[in-house]
């Protein structure tokens, strides 16, 4: 009796703080309810569109800045525990109105995706491997106890959004409409538990080429004092909490003249990521093989869509060894001394590939070769070939693997 | 020339993505501007108060739930790069209106504090060690490149806020008004860099005793698969990103009947924190000394105000050894087998102390003694003594060390 009574007290007391009125039993029920198939699924056929009466002025292609100007509309859909997904809406782009107690402001219940919509030569709108983004978006949401959703439905909704804001998709190779699907927890209560409300919103920003006049390679500061991700953490999820802690080290690197951090991990200084990009090295390895290598998806590395696409293409080419495995700064330093590094680049949706020319590590510089025959652009030959090959598929000029370039 | 041009390109290209229009040089300037004393400081004398025309109905003390009901007003103050802090405002509690591109939604630019206001027997309002909260709030903000502020000014502003919402501070031992100072990055642009705008808001929620009818000890699941914090991470900062990733493990623990996770670190399974609390063990150590031990502030442990207060009081008592040092699950298992564990508890603002009675680890249970002579309450004698001593000071019944209980 005593134990039972105090157990109830414990539950009551803890849940008052930990998760409003959930007891472990109720929690377990709620948990299954959150993910139950009886809840309303995300359903694109329920879409409501209310077009904006105003049309903002389009910017000239030359004036586009990443993520600063947004289109006339946005896509939103809300979720509630015990009910599921509500009515998707496309409406005028505008402020979100959220209670100051909304858990997104306090406990970082937030995850996102980065994707782009491209205009092909026939004027059709294309997405690049949206299924990969939807899969990762769902996995990120699950990692922070936000609800799952039907990925194909969200892709359909994004397709509708792109029709409504079609005039905002810039034309021309290198130009695209950057899409930012975001999920936030909107529970209006400070209890530290699963959010009982959530929202997906998608906003869109026209962007120009990452390198407007030829590749420009970057200098990296190999960063040991701060760590981006760790085993049992969230490095493989695109959650908000991965980003803010990297800004201070980024500013510190900028102050010393480096554009990005090279994130390392562990006592052996394993190479993990570059700024917000995956990291690739093209070299002669210690066995004398020509190899393209990137860190394996060990739980700490973001499973980049561009990363996966590069690996697929390179394997398809079959011209050199392609590896996903651990490598360390010691390996890089040795390869540099022995003149075995051929190229290095970061990879991500924003740039596709971003050539690296120098890494400052432990008081020394590693110099990465570029293509000396190219007088207009700082990038190695493989880097450029990868960039062109992916862009060809993104803009529909070349037929890529099935499902890579999707007309919406 | 070539290098210079491409360097400019690199800067332009990267900053388009990385931080809007900042070049490394500008960034460095901006960085100092962010923290320059020439910017407008946070100034409580500028406060503007616009009282709400409505008064919400107060809840009965028995109905209070942590963080669910908020007072009539909120305190807000905005910050802008190059300008500094604006006009603090106390106004009607209501929704925040934020652009969907605001960086708080994407990159977790958010940190917070938890504090309580207490009514003493003379009807005066008291805060407990607010200087500690302000210091930590500033440090958390700095870790994610949010602006610093004048801590004493924010304490003054909170004092004014408490005057305006005085009727919301519940009376009675164990009752208090929970305060949630929060800082968010509000830059309206997706560039991954320091936020050029920020906001502090403070909201308040009346709360009752964590244990309304005597202590109820908790069962913990020692968690190895997921890890709360890491060297070079943010475990010692109260940033939002530390919280959402802990919810899935918490739900998993709840499903198995445990109230909280015991967070471990490293191959040797060092004990770090309990749920969202610091962790204390009171035992006979291997040298036969009676010792109160808590993990040292090694960069991964949140520097709790309650943690620090417990250490100070225990050192002042001088009756047993007080240590801040590493200890592992192996140490706990051994102590359990040898019958050396006397008490264990979590410590935090919400509960002060939360007794622990069982830890499930590696297939076995560690049973922590409670006070068998106490038939109404599940807690050890030291746990109860610490709770009472801190509460005595919080409610002004006992004069604590200078600056601990501050009348506002």
Band of residue A37 on the pLDDT scale cut at 50, 70, 90: low
Mean pLDDT for the stretch of residues B239-244 = 98
Map A295-355 to HEC letters: CCCCCCCCCCHHHHHHHHHHHHHCCCEEEECCCEHHHHHHHHHCCCEEEEEEEECCCEEEE
Do B266 and B322 meet the contact criterion of CB atoms below 8 Å apart?
Answer: no
CA B276 to chain centre: 8
As a whole number of angstroms, the distance between CA A308 and CA A294 comes to 10
* 3-state secondary structure at position B163: helix
Band of residue A12 on the pLDDT scale cut at 50, 70, 90: very low
Give the pLDDT of residue A31: 47
Give the pLDDT of residue A27: 39
As a whole number of angstroms, the distance between CA A223 and CA A261 comes to 6
Q: With a cut of 70, say whether residue B14 has pLDDT above it.
A: no
Give the pLDDT of residue A306: 98
Q: With a cut of 50, say whether residue A21 has pLDDT above it.
A: no
Taking contacts as CB-CB distances below 8 angstroms, the residues of chain A near B13 are 210-212, 216, 351
Helix crossing, B24-35 with A247-255: angle to 10°?
120
As a whole number of angstroms, the distance between CA A1 and CA A15 comes to 21
Band of residue A38 on the pLDDT scale cut at 50, 70, 90: confident
Q: What 8-state DSSP symbol labels residue A147?
A: P
Share of chain B above pLDDT 70, in %: 91
CA B9 to chain centre: 43
Mean pLDDT for the stretch of residues B370-375 = 88
As a whole number of angstroms, the distance between CA B94 and CA A100 comes to 7
List, in sequence order, every residue forming a beta bridge with A273; answer none if it has no partner.
A263, A278
List the single best residue of B253, B254, B387 to mutate versus A (max A Cβ within 10 A). Answer: B254
Give the pLDDT of residue A155: 98
Please indicate if any CB of chain A lies within 8 Å of the CB of B69. no
Give the pLDDT of residue A25: 36
Mean pLDDT of chain B: 92
Q: With a cut of 70, say whether residue B355 has pLDDT above it.
A: yes
Categorise residue A304: left if φ over 0, alpha if ψ from -120 to 50, beta otherwise: beta
Share of chain A above pLDDT 70, in %: 91
Mean pLDDT for the stretch of residues B91-100 = 98
Residue in B with minimal Cα distance to A17: B66
As a whole number of angstroms, the distance between CA A181 and CA B398 comes to 54
Give the pLDDT of residue A213: 83
Burial label, A255 (beta-carbon count in 10 A; 0-12, 13-18, 19+): middle
Yes or no, beta carbons of B194 and A251 under 8 Å apart: yes
CA dihedral (B267, B271, B273, B279) in degrees, to 10, reads -170
Please indicate if any CB of chain A lies within 8 Å of the CB of B151. no
Yes or no, beta carbons of A10 and B216 under 8 Å apart: yes
Do B52 and B92 meet the contact criterion of CB atoms below 8 Å apart?
Answer: yes
Taking contacts as CB-CB distances below 8 angstroms, the residues of chain A near B213 are 9
Give the ranges where A115-170 is alpha helix by DSSP (H). Answer: 130-143, 151-164
Q: With a cut of 60, say whether residue B300 has pLDDT above it.
A: yes
| Residues contacting A165, CB < 8 A, separation 6+ | A71, A72, A73, A177, A204
Yes or no, beta carbons of A100 and B145 under 8 Å apart: no
Share of chain B above pLDDT 90, in %: 88
Give the pLDDT of residue A311: 98
Band of residue A398 on the pLDDT scale cut at 50, 70, 90: very high
Give the pLDDT of residue A212: 84
Mean pLDDT for the stretch of residues A39-53 = 97
Concatenating the DSSP letter of every residue in B114-125 gives -EEEEE-TTS-E
Please indicate if any CB of chain B lies within 8 Å of the CB of A48. no
Best CA proximity match to B303, nearest among B400, B237, B351, B393: B237
Band of residue B8 on the pLDDT scale cut at 50, 70, 90: very low
Q: Which two tokens stand for residue B22?
A: 């900042």
Say if strands B73-80 and A352-361 run parallel, antiparallel, or are unpaired: unpaired
Mean pLDDT of chain A: 92
Band of residue B101 on the pLDDT scale cut at 50, 70, 90: very high
> What was the ipTM of the complex prediction?
0.92
Q: What 8-state DSSP symbol labels residue B287?
A: T
CB < 8 Å & 24+ apart, contacts of A56-65: A58/A167, A58/A168, A58/A206, A59/A206, A61/A170, A61/A172, A61/A175, A61/A208, A62/A208, A64/A170, A64/A175, A64/A206, A64/A207, A64/A208, A65/A207, A65/B16, A65/B20, A65/B21, A65/B189
Q: With a cut of 90, say whether residue B376 has pLDDT above it.
A: no
Q: With a cut of 90, say whether residue A15 has pLDDT above it.
A: no
Least-confidence region, from A113-122, A237-246, B98-107, B205-214: B205-214
CA dihedral (A347, A348, A353, A356) in degrees, to 10, reads -50
Q: With a cut of 80, say whether residue B309 has pLDDT above it.
A: yes
Q: With a cut of 70, say whether residue A23 has pLDDT above it.
A: no
Mean pLDDT for the stretch of residues A164-172 = 97
* 3-state secondary structure at position B383: helix
Say if strands A89-92 and A110-112 run parallel, antiparallel, or are unpaired: unpaired
Say if strands A321-324 and A260-265 run parallel, antiparallel, or are unpaired: unpaired
* 3-state secondary structure at position A126: strand
List the single best residue of B7, B108, B143, B187 to mutate versus A (max A Cβ within 10 A). Answer: B108
Burial label, A271 (beta-carbon count in 10 A; 0-12, 13-18, 19+): buried
Mean pLDDT for the stretch of residues A53-81 = 96
Q: What is the pLDDT of residues B358-367, one digit of tens each?
A: 999 999 999 9
| Residues contacting B211, CB < 8 A, separation 6+ | A9, A13, B351, B377
Of A66, A97, A375, the CB nearest to B190: A66
As a whole number of angstroms, the distance between CA B385 and CA B76 comes to 38
Q: Which two tokens stand for residue B249?
A: 């493990």
Do A290 and A320 meet the contact criterion of CB atoms below 8 Å apart?
Answer: yes
Which sign does the torsion angle of CA B136, B130, B243, A147 carry? Answer: negative
Q: What is the pLDDT of residues B167-205, one digit of tens each?
A: 999 999 999 999 999 999 999 999 999 999 999 999 999
Please indicate if any CB of chain B lies within 8 Å of the CB of A227. yes
Interface of A with B in 344-363 (CB under 8 A): 350-351, 354
Yes or no, beta carbons of A232 and B233 under 8 Å apart: no
Q: With a cut of 70, say whether residue A4 has pLDDT above it.
A: no
Segment holding B158, helix H or strand E: helix B151-164
Best CA proximity match to A225, nearest among A242, A248, A257: A248
CA B261 to chain centre: 17
List the single best residue of A254, A269, A345 to mutate versus B (max B Cβ within 10 A). Answer: A254
Categorise residue A92: left if φ over 0, alpha if ψ from -120 to 50, beta otherwise: beta
List the single best residue of A1, A28, A67 to mutate versus B (max B Cβ within 10 A). Answer: A67
Give the pLDDT of residue B213: 83
CA angle B250–B255–B259, rounded 5-degree value: 50
Q: Which two tokens stand for residue B235?
A: 């475990």
Give the pLDDT of residue B152: 98
As a whole number of angstroms, the distance between CA A250 and CA A83 comes to 42
Please indicate if any CB of chain A lies within 8 Å of the CB of B378. yes
Mean pLDDT for the stretch of residues B62-86 = 96
Of A100, A227, A375, the CB nearest to B232: A227
Give the pLDDT of residue B375: 86
List, in sequence order, every residue forming a beta bridge with A78; answer none if it has no partner.
A199
Give the pLDDT of residue B77: 98
Mean pLDDT for the stretch of residues B100-129 = 98
Please indicate if any CB of chain A lies within 8 Å of the CB of B91. no
Mean pLDDT for the stretch of residues B76-102 = 98
Give the pLDDT of residue A22: 33
Do B101 and A52 meet the contact criterion of CB atoms below 8 Å apart?
Answer: no
Yes or no, beta carbons of A255 and B112 under 8 Å apart: no
Q: Look-up: residue for tokens 């010691």?
A: A330
CB < 8 Å & 24+ apart, contacts of B384-388: B384/B215, B386/B310, B386/B313, B386/B314, B386/B345, B386/B352, B386/B353, B387/B215, B387/B352, B387/B353
Q: Which two tokens stand for residue A125?
A: 């709108």
């Amino acid at each position: 009796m005593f134990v039972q009574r105090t157990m109830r007290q414990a539950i009551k007391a803890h849940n008052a703080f930990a998760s409003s009125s959930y007891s472990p039993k109720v929690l377990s029920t709620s948990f299954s309810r959150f993910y139950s198939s009886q809840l309303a699924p995300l359903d694109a056929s329920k879409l409501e569109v209310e077009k904006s009466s105003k049309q903002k002025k389009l910017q000239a292609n030359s004036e586009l800045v990443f993520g600063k100007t947004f289109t006339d509309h946005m896509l939103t859909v809300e979720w509630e525990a015990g009910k599921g997904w509500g009515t998707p809406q496309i409406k005028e782009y505008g402020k979100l109105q959220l209670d100051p107690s909304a858990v997104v402001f306090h406990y970082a219940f937030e995850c996102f995706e980065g994707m782009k919509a491209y205009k092909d030569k026939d004027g059709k709108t294309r997405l690049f491997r949206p299924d990969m983004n939807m899969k990762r978006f769902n996995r990120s949401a699950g990692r922070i106890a936000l609800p799952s959703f039907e990925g194909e439905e969200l892709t359909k909704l994004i397709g509708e959004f792109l029709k409504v804001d079609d005039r905002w998709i810039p034309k021309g190779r290198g130009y695209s409409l950057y899409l930012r699907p975001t999920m936030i927890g909107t529970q209006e209560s400070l209890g530290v538990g699963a959010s009982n409300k959530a929202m997906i919103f998608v906003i869109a920003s026209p962007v120009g080429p990452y390198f407007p006049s030829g590749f420009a390679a970057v200098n990296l500061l190999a960063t040991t004092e701060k760590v981006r991700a760790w085993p049992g953490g969230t490095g493989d999820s695109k959650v908000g909490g991965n980003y803010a802690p990297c800004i201070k080290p980024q500013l510190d690197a900028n102050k010393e003249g480096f554009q990005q951090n090279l994130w390392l991990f562990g006592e052996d200084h394993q190479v993990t990521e570059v700024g917000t990009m995956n990291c690739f090295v093209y070299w002669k390895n210690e066995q004398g093989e020509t190899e393209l290598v990137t860190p394996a998806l060990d739980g700490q590395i973001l499973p980049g869509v561009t990363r996966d696409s590069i690996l697929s293409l390179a394997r398809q080419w079959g011209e050199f060894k392609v590896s996903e495995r651990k490598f360390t700064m010691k390996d890089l330093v040795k390869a540099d001394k022995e003149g075995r590094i051929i190229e290095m680049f970061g990879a991500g949706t924003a740039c596709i590939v971003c050539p690296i020319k120098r890494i400052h590590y432990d008081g020394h510089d590693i110099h990465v070769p570029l293509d000396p025959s190219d007088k207009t652009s700082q990038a190695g030959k493989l880097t450029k070939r990868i960039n062109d090959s992916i862009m060809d598929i993104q803009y529909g000029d070349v037929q890529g693997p099935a499902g890579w370039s999707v007309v919406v």
